[in-house]
């Protein structure tokens, strides 16, 4: 990404500890204005903590938070031009829908008429125009969630922070809301920072994803980057389904695993370096034994609507997840095939920076080779 404008939010080496418990370790973030960002990670990985640091609810142990280039570590919550949609909504039970949404504008000291206009606008944005007079207790979960979004947006924030806002909704409503949230973000053109532990949700909605685990950012990139080029075992495992095997990079463009050598498209590693090999289930195809690069035995299969999920076992005893369009017979021996570019190589302990550097070097090589 080459962008010269100042990021709207920046974390510089941010850390946070409770007593001796290090919750966040050296976090660096750069968020550009107007984009949809997602913090993705398992429960307890520190997503809410990062959100609370951005909004100002939590103070960092070390490091700087910048807003449009200015350090805002000591700016109190109420002075930051950001608003939050909380994990449990946090709607005021003593106020009805209208008063909840009107809270921010009325604190700002807008006139009665302006407040009313603003609330009306926001409620129609979240499709709740008919519900202004309802008490909070009289709303369904999905409706409460919309009120929380309207309330946060009524303050005209530059950044909207959303903490797993969809996790309490049923599958269908969730899909709908994913779409609507994305639409709202694009319509308003403000920055969204969305927290979720659902990788599908993250891939579907985001411009840019930060994958977290144990208080560390494992990888950041566009959904495609993250899916196609996971940097390590954790990311490969967490995002989508993966077949991860131990292997050895014998030379550039030649990798060895399950006792065989395969042609691939990675380079720039030490000869005979130990690596991990990732193959996505949807990149694998079942074929005849003669056409297969490997021979596997079908162990299990289940129908998933638009494909069959198949578990197969190769002769080394490795388990393979395969997504196939055709039904197979359990116990049958078949061939397994994939293309060289579907083999993704991960080095052990490679940081994001090393990874990027290697990728660049390697791309240069390719360019040079072309010339």
Ligand X SMILES: Nc1ncnc2c1ncn2[C@@H]1O[C@H](COP(=O)(O)OP(=O)(O)OP(=O)(O)O)[C@@H](O)[C@H]1O
Indicate whether 90 belongs to the interface with another protein (CB under 8 A). Answer: yes
C-alpha 12/C-alpha 30 separation (Å) is: 9
Q: Would you report the helix, strand and coil content of the chain in percent, each value rounded to 5?
A: 30, 35, 35
C-alpha 204/C-alpha 181 separation (Å) is: 11
Question: Which is closer to ligand X, CB of 27 or CB of 296?
Answer: 27
Indicate whether 91 belongs to the interface with another protein (CB under 8 A). Answer: yes
Indicate whether 213 belongs to the interface with ligand X (CB under 6 A). Answer: no
Q: Which of residues 95-134 bind another protein (CB under 8 A)?
A: 96, 98-99, 103-104, 107-108, 133
Question: Which is closer to another protein, CB of 119 or CB of 184?
Answer: 119
Indicate whether 84 belongs to the interface with another protein (CB under 8 A). Answer: yes
- Of 46-54, 95-103, 202-210, 346-354, the window that binds ligand X (rule: CB under 6 A) is 46-54
- Of 53-61, 224-232, 327-335, 348-356, the window that binds another protein (rule: CB under 8 A) is 53-61
C-alpha 67/C-alpha 85 separation (Å) is: 19
CA 146 from centroid of its chain's CA atoms: 22
With contacts defined by CB under 8 A, how many residues of the chain interact with another protein? 27
Q: Which of 155, 142, 220, 219 is nearest to 190 (CA)?
A: 155
Edge-first strand order for the sheet with 70-71 is 21-31, 9-18, 62-67, 70-71
The neighbour count for residue 135, using CB atoms within 10 Å, is: 11
Indicate whether 69 belongs to the interface with ligand X (CB under 6 A). Answer: no
Indicate whether 78 belongs to the interface with another protein (CB under 8 A). Answer: yes
Select the residue interacting with another protein from 13, 44, 70, 77 (CB under 8 A).
77
We find the least distance from the C-beta atom of residue 138 to another protein, in angstroms, to be: 10
Residues contacting 218, CB < 8 A, separation 6+: 211, 212, 231, 232, 234, 235
Question: Which is closer to another protein, CB of 153 or CB of 346?
Answer: 153
- Of 120-128, 149-157, 176-184, 319-327, the window that binds another protein (rule: CB under 8 A) is 149-157
Tell me which of Mg ion, another protein, ligand X, none is bound by residue 330, counting a contact when its beta carbon lies within the kind-specific cut-off of 5 to 8 angstroms. none
The distance in angstroms from the start CA to the end CA of the chain is 25
We find the least distance from the C-beta atom of residue 9 to ligand X, in angstroms, to be: 17
Q: Are strands 9-18 and 21-31 parallel, antiparallel or unpaired?
A: antiparallel
Edge-first strand order for the sheet with 294-303 is 285-287, 333-337, 294-303, 308-314, 319-324
Q: Which of 16, 19, 99, 18 is nearest to 51 (CA)?
A: 16
The neighbour count for residue 138, using CB atoms within 10 Å, is: 11
Site string (32-61) toward Mg ion, x via CB under 5 A: ----------------x-------------
Return the structure tokens found at 369.
């080779």
Return the structure tokens found at 221.
């990139």
C-alpha 58/C-alpha 70 separation (Å) is: 18
We find the least distance from the C-beta atom of residue 60 to ligand X, in angstroms, to be: 13
We find the least distance from the C-beta atom of residue 169 to another protein, in angstroms, to be: 19
Tell me which of another protein, Mg ion, ligand X, none is bound by residue 94, counting a contact when its beta carbon lies within the kind-specific cut-off of 5 to 8 angstroms. another protein
Question: Which is closer to another protein, CB of 157 or CB of 230?
Answer: 157
Binding site for Mg ion (CB under 5 A): 48
Binding site for another protein (CB under 8 A): 55-57, 76-78, 83-84, 86, 88, 90-94, 96, 98-99, 103-104, 107-108, 133, 135, 151-152, 155
Binding site for ligand X (CB under 6 A): 18, 21, 23, 41, 43-49, 197
């Amino acid at each position: 990404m080459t962008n010269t404008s100042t990021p709207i939010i920046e974390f510089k080496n941010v850390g946070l500890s409770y007593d001796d418990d290090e919750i966040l370790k050296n976090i660096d973030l750069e968020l550009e204005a107007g984009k949809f960002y997602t913090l993705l990670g398992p429960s307890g990985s520190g997503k809410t903590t990062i959100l609370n640091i951005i909004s100002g609810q939590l103070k960092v142990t070390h490091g700087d938070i910048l807003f449009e280039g200015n350090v805002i570590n000591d700016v109190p919550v109420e002075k930051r031009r950001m608003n939050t949609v909380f994990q449990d909504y946090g709607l005021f039970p003593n106020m009805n829908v209208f008063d909840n949404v009107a809270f921010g504008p009325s604190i700002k000291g807008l006139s009665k008429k302006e407040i009313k206009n603003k609330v009306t606008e926001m409620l129609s944005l979240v499709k709740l125009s008919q519900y202004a007079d309802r008490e909070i207790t009289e709303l369904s979960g999905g409706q409460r969630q919309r009120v929380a979004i309207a309330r946060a947006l009524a303050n005209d924030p530059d950044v909207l922070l959303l903490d797993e806002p969809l996790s309490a909704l049923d599958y269908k409503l969730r899909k709908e809301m994913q779409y609507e949230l994305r639409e709202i973000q694009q319509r308003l053109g403000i920055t969204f920072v969305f927290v979720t532990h659902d990788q599908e949700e993250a891939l579907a909605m985001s411009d840019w994803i930060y994958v977290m685990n144990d208080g560390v950012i494992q990888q950041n990139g566009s959904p495609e980057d993250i899916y196609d080029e996971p940097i390590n075992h954790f990311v490969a495992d967490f995002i989508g389904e993966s077949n991860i095997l131990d292997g050895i990079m014998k030379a550039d463009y030649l990798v060895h695993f399950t006792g065989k050598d395969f042609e691939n498209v990675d380079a720039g590693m030490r000869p005979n370096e130990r690596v991990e090999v990732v193959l996505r289930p949807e990149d694998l195809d079942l074929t005849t034994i003669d056409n297969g690069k490997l021979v596997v035995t079908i162990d299990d299969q289940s129908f998933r609507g638009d494909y069959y999920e198949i578990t197969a076992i190769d002769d080394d005893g490795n388990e393979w997840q395969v997504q196939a369009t055709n039904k197979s017979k359990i116990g049958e021996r078949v061939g397994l095939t994939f293309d060289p570019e579907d083999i993704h190589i991960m080095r052990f302990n490679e940081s994001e920076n090393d990874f990027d550097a290697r990728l660049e070097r390697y791309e240069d090589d390719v360019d040079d080779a072309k010339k």
